Structure 1
């Protein structure tokens, strides 16, 4: 799976098995918390595709709907400024819905903080966040995240939705990228 050359990968941090196990645990928590309620999963493109697909299939919940948003945050280079533009909005009305934002990774938290306030203004019954990965050291905004798969070091990571120049997203594991590629 994926198209990485072995020389592109410095170190595997999380294996496919570790990710699948943790995803199953997160799905069980979501199932318990939303029992008897309709749930709308909102995926944030493009990174959340893997997490969204795997989480939704791991849920036992019968009444799960899915929708997608694409947002672009502006900043210098790889740093987010928190200035966000919606590239693709939701097709679903959030009024009275139980909404779970699904993210691949939270680093600065600035874009997610903006997204939460934007979606809250649409009148959902509840709004929570699930992320497969979080980089606590990179946080610049205090975001309340209900479900977290793994806390990761503030390094350049690829795989399982995380990309470098749109590459390596499809790797089934999470790894650090070899420095020769980006230094």
Structure 2
């Protein structure tokens, strides 16, 4: 079943559904090789990472476990506030486990830098990051990312889990949202 999208809110599609699938295949192959025989826990960062996490996890061995955390530095706007809040904490104990944070996008790096420090302090054997998208031009904090899908320009993007005011998450691609849509 295919759904036709109204493309009038977008200036361009940055990353197609097919390109996302191919990149997740590449990333998952590297992750499987790097963590073979290790106790790997995927930690998805809600809500944006839902699509990436689901599609990446389906490419992992059945022994890989998942947990979810919700942190926020955005509020309802389009720019990070810089203040990180935990909205939902992990259920799993990280002691001695290899943790792979799965993110939809790295923007300023502020939230992810804070999250890395927080999870490392919980006794994990290792904490690494896999992100589908990264905006190098928007970086305020340099965050070491082990697995990266695509570097993109600093435009405001939606789709494949990314939203504006909780809309557009279900798009199977990543698109640039026209400024007139979010400046209304």
Q: TM-score, with normalisation over the residues of structure 1? A: 0.94
Q: Offset at 1:76?
A: 9.4
Q: Offset at 1:73?
A: 1.8
Which residue does 2:126 correspond to in 1? Answer: 126
Which residue does 1:23 correspond to in 2? Answer: 24
Instruction: Answer whether contact 1:159 1:169 (CA < 8 A) is retained.
Output: yes
Which residue does 2:54 correspond to in 1? Answer: 53
Query: Residue 31 of structure 1: SS of its match in structure 2?
Result: helix
Paired with 2:100 and 2:82, the residues of 1 have a C-alpha distance of 21
Instruction: Answer whether contact 1:81 1:110 (CA < 8 A) is retained.
Output: no
Which residue does 2:106 correspond to in 1? Answer: 106
Instruction: Answer whether contact 1:3 1:168 (CA < 8 A) is retained.
Output: no
Instruction: Answer whether contact 1:72 1:85 (CA < 8 A) is retained.
Output: yes
- Say which is worse superposed, 61-70 or 123-132, in terms of deviation: 61-70
Query: Residue 93 of structure 2: SS of its match in structure 1?
Result: coil
User: What RMSD in Å do the two structures reach over aligned CA positions?
Assistant: 1.7
- Say which is worse superposed, 78-87 or 102-111, in terms of deviation: 78-87
Which residue does 2:64 correspond to in 1? Answer: 64
Q: Say whether residues 1:13 and 2:14 are aligned partners.
A: yes
Query: Residue 17 of structure 1: SS of its match in structure 2?
Result: helix
Q: Offset at 1:181?
A: 1.0
Paired with 1:85 and 1:55, the residues of 2 have a C-alpha distance of 26
Query: Residue 58 of structure 1: SS of its match in structure 2?
Result: coil
Query: Residue 90 of structure 2: SS of its match in structure 1?
Result: coil
Gaps of 5+ in 2: none
Paired with 1:160 and 1:64, the residues of 2 have a C-alpha distance of 22
Instruction: Answer whether contact 1:156 1:176 (CA < 8 A) is retained.
Output: yes
Query: Residue 58 of structure 2: SS of its match in structure 1?
Result: helix
Residues 1:7 and 1:75: Cα distance change in structure 2 (over 3 Å): closer
Q: Aligned residue pairs: how many?
A: 182
Q: TM-score, with normalisation over the residues of structure 2? A: 0.93
Deviation digits for residues 25-62 of structure 1 (CA, Å, limit 9, x no counterpart): 00000000001111100000000000000000012x24
